[in-house]
C-alpha cells in the first residue's frame, strides 16, 4: 500500500490522494469546495483524526469572478462579485484577487474533521468544526496544527482578515466543544506549532513571521510558562541560498518525539514557489538549538497530483504521527488534496547524516 | 520660552531644536553624526534624561556612498562602500541603500544619554549608552522608549538586522550598567512602550506590527504577568481613511497617567509620509479600550526644522513627561534633531472633545 521511489525517501500511499475536494460537502449549497488540504493530525480514542482546511468559493458564473468573506459582527458569509473584464482586476495569482489596490482571497477556508480507524480510509464530517468568526477571521481560518497536552487538544491556526494573518488558538477535549481563545500571536505570523517539555515546566512555539523590509520568511521559536504568554523569541532557522528552502520555510506539525531529540518536519520553498519538505532535529532539552538539518529535500513534489492542482508543485505538511518506527506523514499536494506518505525513521537519520 | 501658534495646540520651545547632530561627538573619529533624534525620556535623581537615537555614517568621499554595519560576532563596525555611479544602486529613499536586491541602511544608530536639570538645556554624554551588538542589531538600535517600574528602567528599542526589525529590551537601575535581554518581540514590530497596572498585577505593551499582505501598520496591544512573556495580542487602533493617520500609526512613549485614563501620544502618517502626532485615551482599568482619539492632529510639522531635514515633514515622539498640568513633549523633527514642546492638558481634553 506504500510505494517507494528513487527521488526522495517518502513512500507514497498508492491510493493518493486520500481526500479530494469532491469528497467534502460544502458548508452551504451555493458554495463549491475547491480545496481539502493542509490537515492537522492527532490521535483520539484509538482513531486518527485530521483537521482539514476546507477552501470554498461561490459557484462561479460565466463572466464573473466571485469570492466570499465573513461579516465580523454577524459571522454571515457575504459574496463579493467582480466583472471578469474589470480592468482593475488582477487574478494572476490563483490564491488572491487584487482590485483597486485591495486584496481579497479567492476562497474562504474553515476547519473540518475527518476520522479513520486505520489511518488510510477517512470519513469526513458533513459540517465544519471550526468556522471563521469575528474581526480576525473575516477571510477565513487556515492550516491547523494540533498538539495534545494532558488530554486537551490545542489547535493553532492562521486567522486571516484585513488585520493581516495572525495566529489564533482553539482548544477542545472531545472534538465536539471548542473554546476559542483568539489571537495568540499578532501578524504577520503563520505556521505555528506548540510542544511541551516532558515535565511540563515549559512550552515552546515555532512560528514564522514575515518581514516587510528584507522580505524574510524565517522560522522563529518562543517559550512560555503557561501556553498563554510567550517570550524569548529567537530566530531558529534561516533560508539557505540555492537550497530547496532558499525563499521561505516554516514548521510542519508539532515536533515528533524521538530518542535523538525533537524531530521537526518543515516546508521550504524556493524562488519559483516549489514547496518541498525537510527535516530538522532540535535538541531535546533546548529546542532553540538545531542539531541536524536536511542537506536536500526529504520529500519533493514528484507525483502528478503534487505537480498539478490549484497551486502546483507543492508538498506541505501540518503534521504526522509516529507508528512502528515510521513517520506517517499526512500532507497536502498542490494546495488541493490530502495525501499520505510513510517515511522510515532510519531513512530520516541517514538523510540527516546522523 | 514656549510659543503658541494658530495651527496646533503645541507650544514649541523658542530655542528649538534643543539638540542637533553637531552637538553630538561621534562614536569613532571616522564617522559623522547625521541624526540626534527620537529620544526616550525619563526622570532620574531629579534630572530629566533623554536616551537619544544617534545616527552615524562614514565620512562620505566624493563619488562614493558608504555605510556601516556591525559584525555580529566581533561587534566591530564594518564600512560598506558603493560607487556613486553603480547602475544597481538605488538611493531614492534617503534612509536606505538598495543594491542588487539587497537593502542597507544609510546610517547606523546607537543610543546616547543626555541630561538636564531644567528640562531645557541638555549635556550630551561623549560615548554611547547602548551600542548595537549581536545578530539582531547588525544594522543598529533605534527609537528607545523608557518606562520606570519600581526603580528599574525598562528600555524597549528597535533591533535592526537582516532578521528584519525586532524589539529588544535592556534594563538599568543606575544608567551606567545595562542588562541586555535580547528580543522580546519578533519581527516585524516597532514602536513598543511598556506600562504597568498601578498594583503591578499586570503589564501592557503597545506595539506596531507590519504586514506583508495588506501592508497594514496598525497599533496592537499585548499583556503580561511578568514583563517577560506576552499574550492576548489584539488590534488597538487602525489607520483612518483621509485622516492624518491614514497610512500608519504607532505608539509614542509610555502612556501618561491622568485622572481620565492612560493618555497615549502617538504618531500617525499619511500616504505622503507626513508624520503628525495624535492623542488617544485608554481606559484606566482596561487599556485595550480606547475612550477618545484625536479627530485631527494634536501637533503637525509646521516649523521650518520640522519640514526640512534628513527626512522632512516629520514630528515624532518617543516620550514626554507631565509637569504642572502640561505635557513636556520631547520630540524629533525631520528625523534629524530633538525638540521640545509643551501642551496644556486642558487643551488635550478640549482637542479630544471630552
What does the pLDDT read at residue B16? 98
Which whole number is the average pLDDT over A7-29? 97
What does the pLDDT read at residue A120? 98
Q: With CB atoms and an 8 Å threshold, state whether A166 touches B233.
A: yes
Which whole number is the average pLDDT over A76-100? 91
How much of chain B is in helix, strand and coil states, percent to nearest 5?
5, 55, 40
What does the pLDDT read at residue A278? 98
Which whole number is the average pLDDT over A253-266? 98
Give B201 to chain A, closest Cα distance, Å: 15
Q: Does A220 touch chain B (CB under 8 A)?
A: yes
Q: With CB atoms and an 8 Å threshold, state whether A233 touches B165.
A: no
Give B332 to chain A, closest Cα distance, Å: 23
Work out the percent of chain A whose per-residue pLDDT is above 70.
100
| Topology (CATH level 3) of domain B17-187 | Tachylectin-2; Chain A (2.115.10)
Q: Which residues of chain B have pLDDT under 70?
A: none
Residue A245 near residue A268, CB atoms below 8 Å: yes
Residue A205 near residue A231, CB atoms below 8 Å: no
Residue A278 near residue A297, CB atoms below 8 Å: yes
From A135, A185, A220, residue closest to B233, measured CB to CB: A185
Among A144-148, A314-318, B71-75, B302-306, the least confident range: B71-75
Q: Does B125 touch chain A (CB under 8 A)?
A: no
Residue A338 near residue A144, CB atoms below 8 Å: no
A326 pLDDT above the threshold of 90: yes
From B164, B165, B230, residue closest to A230, measured CB to CB: B230
Give B286 to chain A, closest Cα distance, Å: 17
Mean confidence (pLDDT) of chain A:
96
| Complex confidence, ipTM | 0.95
User: What is the value of pTM for the model shown?
Assistant: 0.96
Q: How many CB pairs under 8 A join A and B?
A: 114
Instruction: Classify residue A195 by its DSSP letter.
Output: E
Residue A38: pLDDT band with limits 50, 70, 90 = very high
Q: What is the DSSP string of A274-324?
A: -EEEEEEEE-SS-TTSEEEE-SS-SB-S-SHHHHSSTT-SBEEEEEEEEET
Q: With CB atoms and an 8 Å threshold, state whether A187 touches B209.
A: yes
**B17-187 and B198-354: identical CATH topology:** yes
Which whole number is the average pLDDT over A68-83? 91
Q: How far is CA A122 from the centre of its chain?
A: 19
What does the pLDDT read at residue B101? 79
Residues on chain B touching A250 (C-beta within 8 angstroms): none
Phi-psi region of B240 (alpha: psi -120 to 50; beta: other; left: phi over 0): beta
A113 pLDDT above the threshold of 90: yes
Residues on chain A touching B222 (C-beta within 8 angstroms): 186
- Residue of chain A whose alpha carbon sits nearest to that of B238: A163
Residues on chain A touching B219 (C-beta within 8 angstroms): none
A112 pLDDT above the threshold of 90: yes
Residue A100: pLDDT band with limits 50, 70, 90 = confident
- Residue A233's nearest CA partner among B186, B166, B296, B339 is B186
Q: Does A148 touch chain B (CB under 8 A)?
A: no
Best mutation target, A163, A165, A217, to test chain B (most B CBs within 10 A): A163
From A189, A209, A225, residue closest to B229, measured CB to CB: A225
Best mutation target, B72, B93, B137, B163, to test chain A (most A CBs within 10 A): B163
Residue B238 near residue B228, CB atoms below 8 Å: no
Residue A24: pLDDT band with limits 50, 70, 90 = very high
Parse chain A into domains and list their residue ranges: 17-187, 198-354
- Residue of chain A whose alpha carbon sits nearest to that of B236: A163
Give A228 to chain B, closest Cα distance, Å: 6
Q: With CB atoms and an 8 Å threshold, state whether A164 touches B228.
A: no
> Which three cell numbers, joined as nine digits, stand for A353?
547524516
- Bridging pattern class, strands B219-224 and B203-209: antiparallel
- Bridging pattern class, strands B108-116 and B102-105: unpaired
What does the pLDDT read at residue A102? 85
Classify domain A198-354 by CATH architecture: 5 Propeller (2.115)
Best mutation target, A101, A106, A230, to test chain B (most B CBs within 10 A): A230
Write a three-state SS string for A83-126.
ECCCCCEECCCCCEEEECCEEEECCEEEEEEEEECCCCCCEECC
**Non-local CB neighbours of B224 within 8 Å, separated by 6+ positions:** A229, B202, B203, B204, B205, B230, B231
- Residue of chain A whose alpha carbon sits nearest to that of B182: A232
What does the pLDDT read at residue A350? 97
Amino acid at each position: 500500500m506504500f510505494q517507494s521511489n528513487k527521488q526522495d525517501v517518502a513512500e507514497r500511499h498508492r491510493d493518493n490522494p486520500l481526500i479530494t475536494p469532491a469528497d467534502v460537502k460544502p458548508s452551504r449549497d451555493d458554495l463549491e469546495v475547491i480545496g481539502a488540504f493542509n490537515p492537522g493530525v492527532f490521535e483520539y480514542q484509538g482513531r486518527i483524526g485530521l483537521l482539514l482546511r476546507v477552501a470554498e468559493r461561490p459557484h462561479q458564473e460565466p463572466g464573473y469572478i466571485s469570492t466570499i468573506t465573513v461579516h465580523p459582527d454577524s459571522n454571515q458569509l457575504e459574496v463579493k462579485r467582480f466583472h471578469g473584464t474589470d480592468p482593475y482586476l488582477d487574478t494572476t495569482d490563483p490564491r488572491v484577487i487584487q482590485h483597486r489596490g485591495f486584496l481579497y482571497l479567492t476562497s474562504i477556508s474553515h476547519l473540518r474533521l475527518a476520522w479513520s480507524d486505520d489511518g488510510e480510509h477517512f470519513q469526513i464530517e458533513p459540517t465544519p468544526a471550526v468556522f471563521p468568526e469575528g474581526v480576525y477571521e473575516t477571510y477565513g481560518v487556515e492550516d491547523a496544527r494540533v498538539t495534545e497536552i494532558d488530554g486537551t487538544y490545542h489547535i493553532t491556526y492562521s486567522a486571516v482578515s484585513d488585520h493581516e494573518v495572525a495566529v489564533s488558538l482553539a482548544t477542545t477535549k472531545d472534538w465536539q466543544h471548542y473554546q476559542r481563545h483568539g489571537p495568540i500571536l499578532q501578524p504577520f505570523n503563520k505556521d505555528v506549532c506548540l510542544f511541551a517539555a516532558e515535565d511540563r515546566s515549559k512550552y515552546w512555539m515555532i512560528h514564522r513571521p514575515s518581514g516587510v523590509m528584507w522580505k524574510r520568511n524565517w522560522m522563529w521559536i518562543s517559550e512560555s510558562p503557561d501556553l498563554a504568554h510567550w517570550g524569548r523569541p529567537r530566530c531558529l532557522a534561516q533560508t539557505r541560498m540555492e537550497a530547496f528552502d532558499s525563499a521561505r520555510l516554516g514548521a510542519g506539525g508539532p515536533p515528533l518525539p524521538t530518542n535523538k531529540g525533537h524531530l521537526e518536519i518543515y516546508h521550504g520553498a524556493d524562488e519559483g514557489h516549489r514547496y518541498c519538505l525537510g527535516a530538522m532535529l532540535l535538541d531535546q532539552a533546548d529546542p532553540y538549538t538545531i542539531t541536524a538539518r536536511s542537506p536536500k529535500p526529504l520529500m519533493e513534489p514528484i507525483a502528478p497530483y503534487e505537480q498539478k492542482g490549484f497551486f502546483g508543485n507543492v508538498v506541505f505538511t501540518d503534521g504526522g504521527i509516529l507508528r512502528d518506527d515510521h513517520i506517517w506523514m499526512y500532507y497536502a499536494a498542490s494546495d488541493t488534496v490530502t495525501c499520505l506518505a510513510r517515511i522510515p525513521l532510519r531513512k530520516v537519520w541517514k538523510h540527516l547524516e546522523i
